[in-house]
Structure 1
Amino acid sequence: MILEGAARVLEEQGLAGYTTNAVAERAGVSVGSVYQYFPGKEALTAALVARETGLLIAAVQEAAEAATPELGLRRIVQAAVAHQMSRPRLALLLDREENRLQLDDNLDAVTRAISSAFLALLGHLEPRPPVEAETAAGDLFALVRGIVDAAGERGERASDALEPRVLRAVFGYLGLPAAMP
């Protein structure tokens, strides 16, 4: 309840209006209740970042269990795009706060989870990636994150336009035929 209140305040008021008082009011709790669970705004933000990236990690891990590696790659891209586009303002602000607060453990967890999902799929891919699988997994993570985050920074809101571009980049990097929706 408090985390969702925080998410809504960020979406509606941005960082300027993101205060513990505003979060408490939006969540329908006292400010004391907010401080009971979170010692400050930074801790609240860190918990919100963890919640949101946890959702992305779960979607990516599920995607990696697809019937074919190509379908798994497509689903990872879909998960990344959906994560950015379902709540675009929140995703953008949390990305910025994640960097500002130096939430390295969270960033590392996301990197490991998504790179591991790519690595698992690449192990079953024919033809093999053009470089060592670990390198390819890291490159694919960087490629997807870069395109998706840049789209968010530009204010893009159309996942149906973004997803095909990311898929072309991923499949092109791997030397696979273009995977269009």
Structure 2
Amino acid sequence: MVQLQVVPDDRRERARDRKRRRFLAAAGRVIDERGLAGLTMQAVAEELDCAVGTIYTYFDSKAALLAALQAEAVETLVASYRTAAASWDPVLDEGEGLDPGLRALVHLQAFGAFFCAASVVLADEFHLQRLLLSERPPGSSAVDQRRPMAVLERLFEIPRSLVDAAVACDVLEPGDTLERVVRWLAALDGVLLLDALAGVDRHLFRGQHHGRALTADLLVGWGADRADVEVAASHVDRLAAVGPLAPPPHGPGYE
């Protein structure tokens, strides 16, 4: 009897999740075609040829729909980073290995390099996280305005831990970690826009090159020794030679 009750509920939940994902995929296509300003519940309904009221049973507002879409994008970015990072320590352990301080700098610069690579490899997800840091959330209610914060906290989670680890190793001076991470990711989001000008001057407007240089400059500004930062950068080059810095994610939900 218990089994007969559980299975249908589980089936209904899976069906609901599939429909929710269809709405999110359609919302992503609308943003691709019309930009964030063109994202409306009606536009999503038209994309799927369904009643707009159906969407409201899953998302109570455009802000809720966008926040869910951005949360999914950030989870994909996080999963991609973790997939890449899982292979880094064995490479860094080759030979005599690295001392903890230098290893912390390598991981910081590797994250910056991952972020730059993701702007190309995971372009849709990257665009959605960029909107988190550059566009005012839709909707005027206090709830709508607060929705992105939980997604932002997830986005900041990994770089915060990396900055804290470097401070603990005394390779960075103590400081406000959250402020540093906000400044770092917002600056990378901005400098990577230079890729759009590659057709003007392919050498000058290299977003990923400038992004990695920006990370190095910030680390020096936060107290790291320039020579150590340069050595760490050479190790990131080793990691990039072993495998993609922003690979397709692996793990639950990404098989």
What displacement does 1:108 show?
Answer: 2.4
Q: Does 1:10 align with 2:45?
A: no
Structure 2 counterpart of 1:150, one-letter code: G
Instruction: Indicate conservation of the 8 Å contact 1:6/1:18, yes or no.
Output: yes
Q: Does 1:111 align with 2:156?
A: yes
Instruction: Indicate conservation of the 8 Å contact 1:57/1:114, yes or no.
Output: no
Q: Which residue of 1 aligns with 2:68?
A: 47
Q: Which residue of 1 aligns with 2:250?
A: none
Counterpart CA distance in 1 for 2:194 and 2:206 is 13
Q: Which residue of 1 aligns with 2:116?
A: 81
Structure 1 counterpart of 2:155, one-letter code: V
Q: Describe how 1:156-167 pairs up with structure 2 within 5 A.
A: 156-157=195-196, 161-167=206-212
User: Which of the numbers 15, 22, 25 marks the counterpart of 2:43?
Assistant: 22
Structure 1 counterpart of 2:230, one-letter code: P
Counterpart CA distance in 1 for 2:230 and 2:178 is 21
What displacement does 1:47 show?
Answer: 0.5
Counterpart of 1:58 in 2: which secondary structure? helix
What displacement does 1:14 show?
Answer: 1.6
Q: Which residue of 2 aligns with 1:150?
A: 190
Cα root mean square deviation, aligned: 3.4
Q: Which residue of 1 aligns with 2:245?
A: none
What displacement does 1:20 show?
Answer: 0.8
What displacement does 1:131 show?
Answer: 1.0
Gaps of 5+ in 2: 1-21, 93-102, 140-144, 199-204, 238-255
Counterpart CA distance in 2 for 1:151 and 1:14 is 20
Counterpart CA distance in 2 for 1:51 and 1:7 is 11
Counterpart CA distance in 2 for 1:28 and 1:71 is 49
Structure 1 counterpart of 2:181, one-letter code: F
Q: Calculate the TM-score normalised by the size of structure 1.
A: 0.72
Instruction: Indicate conservation of the 8 Å contact 1:118/1:137, yes or no.
Output: yes
Q: Which residue of 2 aligns with 1:129?
A: 171
Percent of aligned pairs sharing the same letter = 24
Counterpart of 2:161 in 1: which secondary structure? helix
Q: Calculate the TM-score normalised by the size of structure 2.
A: 0.55
What displacement does 1:144 show?
Answer: 2.9
Counterpart CA distance in 1 for 2:163 and 2:81 is 9
* Higher RCO (CA < 8 A, seq sep 6+): 2
What displacement does 1:109 show?
Answer: 2.6
Paired residues in the alignment total: 174
Q: Which residue of 1 aligns with 2:246?
A: none
What displacement does 1:38 show?
Answer: 0.8
Task: Choose 1 or 2 for highest CA Rg.
Answer: 2
- 34-43 vs 105-114, which moves further: 105-114
Counterpart of 1:3 in 2: which secondary structure? helix
Structure 1 counterpart of 2:211, one-letter code: V
